[in-house]
Structure 1
């Protein structure tokens, strides 16, 4: 693996924690602070690093993540300093599943109100379209898009694709072995 900074990104509830778990199992060093612990919504953990949320104002820690991986929701990608090289694994997921998963998580946290699904879908779609265009224009960023839905159906192929993208030094069998289909609970309307 080279000294690019690896970032697992996507919308909230798109499978970013699962991909972080795969990278860790495959032998990649990950950056997490374990402040947000596992719960019913992410029984295997969130793999978050709180400093990422403040990257716009303080990126001094970023150089220490070269050759490692951390997770950042897609809204934060715009704040990445341009002097670093990044490899981004961008998780995509059926929008109905994202919305269903997010709604269930918010309800468990006691928040029963919020924008309706149609409005959230519109906002997320606009955000994703803009993010994809922005990523294409970044000369210091390589992106691999992985479908969460395909990953669940064929974990070994997704693991091999990610491993090759990152330089070919990860254990793909261990990466694929972390998939627990019983945790695929929020399925789209057409499934």
Structure 2
């Protein structure tokens, strides 16, 4: 959702179009496949200058020590696990042989490790709650715009938020 907001606001994404829209994400993923190899190959980072790139939390610590501005999306881990399981089921793939509670614990440790990394890095970080994007997109758009130096179309950013796509909400099943 944040990538959709940033692109709608006027920023160019670094994406390769390899993963298009599907039932889980009808607006598309705006991903760049080479980010998956960040641990072993960061030669593509020069292509990212001046653009927005989606990097999953587990790979942030492999960014070279430079100055970055990172919009760090935080989501309830129960929702993350449910979303991942649903996507795997739809694609016919087998997920991890771990319980939801075990996956939540694993994800929590990964987020804690990345938090420590980011605190020690030169990166400027803005943490944004996923739920805040749904509940108050105008406030989030304004905050992100300020963080990134201004000039984004906040109205278009707000319009990019589609609450109907918020399907894996925490709470009773």
Which residues of 2 match residues 33-112 of structure 1 at below 5 A?
33-82=16-65, 84-112=66-94
Distance 1:129 1:122 in 2: 11
Contact preservation (8 Å) 2:85, 2:95: no
Distance 1:160 1:113 in 2: 37
Gaps of 5+ in 1: 1-17
Q: What's the CA shift for 1:57? A: 2.7
For 1:164 and 1:145, locate their aligned partners in 2 and report how far apart those are by CA, in whole Å. Answer: 13
What corresponds to 1:153 in structure 2?
135
Deviations 1:162-183 (A, max 9, x none): 1110001101110011111111
Q: CA deviation at 1:112?
A: 4.8
More strand by share: 1
Quote the RMSD (CA, aligned, Å).
Answer: 1.4
CA distance in 2, matches of 1:113, 1:36: 19
Q: TM-score, normalised by structure 1?
A: 0.86
Q: How many residues align?
A: 172
Taking the aligned partners of 1:133 and 1:189, their CA distance within structure 2 comes to: 29
1:123 aligns with 2:106: yes
State the distance in 2 between where 1:60 and 1:118 align.
37
Q: How far did 1:26 drift?
A: 0.4
TM-aligned CA deviation for residue 190 of structure 1: 6.0
Q: How far off is 1:61 after superposition?
A: 2.2
2:74 & 2:172 partners in 1: Cα distance?
Answer: 17
TM-score by structure 2 length?
0.94
Which runs of 5 or more structure 2 residues have no equivalent in the other structure? none
Q: Does 1:176 align with 2:164?
A: no
Measured against aligned partners, the alpha-carbon deviations of 1:8-28 in whole angstroms (never above 9, x if no partner) come to xxxxxxxxxx11111111001
Matches within 5 A, 1:9-24: 18-24=1-7
Please give the alpha-carbon distance, in whole angstroms, between the structure 2 residues aligned to 1:58 and 1:95.
28
Q: Distance in 2 between matches of 1:97 and 1:60?
A: 33
For 2:114 and 2:89, the matched residues in 1 are separated by 28
